[in-house]
Amino acid sequence: MQVNKLMTAIFVCILFCMPTRLLKAQTNETKATIVEGIVVAGYADNGGYINFVGPAIKFTNKPLIVLVGLLPSLKFKEDKSESGSKNALVMPTLGFGLTAAYKHLAIQVPLFYNSKTVSNDGKWNVGFGVGYKF
C-alpha cells in the first residue's frame, strides 16, 4: 500500500512538473513600429536607393523579424531626358515593401512608384536591397 502511494505521488509529480520544464517564454509577437533601426541600400528602377525602414507592422519570431510598411528613401538616379531638362541626382521618395532581418542581416523587396509624365506612364518598380539591423 505504501509503495502504491509513493508511485502515485511520483507519477503525479512527473505529470505536473514535466510540462513546465518544456515551456519557453513566448517569442512571437506582432506590433506597429515607427522606426526599426535598419538601414538598407539597394537597386530599383535603374538606380540605387538608401533607406531607413520607417513606420511598419513588425512580425517577430526571434531571431527573425519581418516588417511590412513604408520606406522613406533617397533614390540616386541619373536622369536621361531628350528634352534637355534634368532632375536632381538625389531624389527623396516614399516606397512600400517587405523587409526581413535575421540577426543583423536585412533583405528588402521595395516597391517605388514613378508618377505619370508626358513621355512615361506611371508605374510601380520593384527593387532589391541588402542592409544592416542595429
Give pLDDT, residue 118. Answer: 74
Q: Is residue 72 part of a domain?
A: yes
Give pLDDT, residue 126. Answer: 94
Phi, psi of 112 (to 5 degrees): -120, 140
Residue 38's domain spans which residues? 25-133
Give pLDDT, residue 18. Answer: 53
Q: Is residue 15 part of a domain?
A: no
Single out the residue of 31, 10, 14, 30 nearest to residue 22, CA to CA: 14
Rounded mean pLDDT for each run of 10 residues along the chain, 134 residues in total: 64 57 66 91 92 92 92 87 75 93 95 81 91 94
Give pLDDT, residue 62. Answer: 86
Count structural domains, the chain.
1
Give pLDDT, residue 15. Answer: 54
Q: Is residue 4 part of a domain?
A: no
**DSSP for 63-117, written as a single string:** TEEEEEEEEEEEEE-----TTS----SEEEEEEEEEEEEETTEEEEEEEEEEPP-
Beta strands 64-76 and 56-61, pairing class: antiparallel
